Amino acid sequence: MRSTKAISAVERLKTRSGNANYAAISMPGGYFYLAERSPEGSKKLCDPMPMDDFVAFVNARDPAKPRKVSKLDLAMEEQIGRSGKRTAKAGAASDD
């Protein structure tokens, strides 16, 4: 069974949230659920679900960190936007 994908998702959640108490609990049949551990005990945060659904749930739990964008990335996105507009204009002109 490949639980690495689920565990990696929880590790990313721990980093994003700053809460190291999250844990992925594996169940028979390839199902996982998210738990938050505390001194009072574990709190189950979702029902057991298949790995892909679990990963999607965990990834949506806390917002992702904003992506760092370099000047080169911005320039490339601007260039792509400009080339897309030209293509759309050229296609519209040939339709007439």
This prediction has a pTM of 0.62
Q: What is the dihedral of CA 79, 83, 89, 91, to 10 degrees?
A: -160
Q: For 12-21, what is each residue's pLDDT tens digit?
A: 999 888 888 9
The answer to whether residues 21 and 37 touch, using CB atoms and an 8 Å cutoff, is yes
Query: In whole angstroms, what is the distance from residue 57 CA to residue 16 CA?
Result: 14
Residue type, 16: R
Kindly give, in sequence order, each residue whose CB lies less than 8 Å from that of residue 58, ignoring residues fewer than 6 positions away: 6, 9, 10, 12, 13, 24, 34
Residue type, 26: S
pLDDT for residue 33: 93
Q: For 28-42, what is each residue's pLDDT tens digit?
A: 988 999 999 988 888
pLDDT for residue 31: 93
